[in-house]
Amino acid sequence: MKSLKKQRRIQVIAVAVVALVAATALIGYAMRDGINFFRAPSQVMAEPPAPTEVFRIGGLVEEGSLIRGDGEVVRFNVTDGGATVPVIFSGVLPDLFAENQGMVGTGRYINGVFEATEILAKHDETYMPKEVVDALKAQGVYQEPEG
């Protein structure tokens, strides 16, 4: 009788371990494209990522670089004060998107141009994403908002 209980306990533990491994593998598989790492323009220029890697880039939209093309295509440069990365985006920009304002974009770095699939702009005059603030502080160009 004890042998049967022991065998049943081992089977339950084995099934639980297999289920845990399967769940971990499925979560990892599902998140393979869902995790986007942040990079500042200086980091992108120092170590360009592979064209297949999706990541986030953030900084300030460089003054005088915003060019609206045919249709919804927009070109601009994003900078952290130390380096500048050209960006191309096809779509509708957020209302608060403007030159000398903070932005974060998601996309790929292909042939020296960041091809954005999503652009986010700061939502009021005092907010800027922490990653962007840290990158600008590292370059010595961050100014504290007034007020």
Quick: pLDDT tens for 30-86: 877 666 688 889 888 998 888 888 889 988 888 888 888 777 889 999 998 889 999
Cβ–Cβ < 8 Å for 135, 80: yes
Q: Are residues 85 and 129 in the same domain?
A: yes
Are 62 and 116 within one domain?
yes
Evaluate whether 105 touches 58 at the Cβ level (below 8 Å). Answer: yes
How many domains are there within the chain?
2
Q: Quick one: pLDDT at residue 53?
A: 87
The verdict on residue 146 lying in a domain is no
pLDDT in tens, 82-115: 899 999 999 888 888 888 888 899 999 999 999 9
Q: Which helix (H) or strand (E) holds 137?
A: helix 130-139
Are 45 and 13 part of one and the same domain? no
Determine, yes or no, domain membership for 145. Answer: no
19 in a domain, yes or no? yes
Is residue 16 very low, low, confident or very high in pLDDT (cuts 50, 70, 90)? Answer: very high
Looking at the structure, tell me whether residues 12 and 82 fall in a common domain: no
Looking at the chain, the whole-number percentage of residues with pLDDT higher than 90 is: 32
- Together in a domain, 11 and 41: no
Per-residue model confidence (pLDDT) at position 35: 66
Asked whether residue 57 falls in the same domain as residue 95, the answer is yes
Res 125 pLDDT > 80: no
Position with higher pLDDT, 86 vs 140: 86
Q: What is the pLDDT of residue 81?
A: 82
Same domain, 77 and 12: no
Q: What is the pLDDT of residue 146?
A: 54
Same domain for 9 and 74?
Answer: no
The number of beta carbons lying within 10 Å of the beta carbon of residue 85 is: 25
Closest CA to 94 of 83, 84, 102: 102
Shared domain check, 82 and 68: yes
- Is residue 110 assigned to a domain? yes
Predicted pLDDT of residue 129: 63
Determine, yes or no, domain membership for 144. no
> Whole-structure pTM over 0.75, yes or no?
no
Whole domain around residue 25: which residue ranges? 1-32
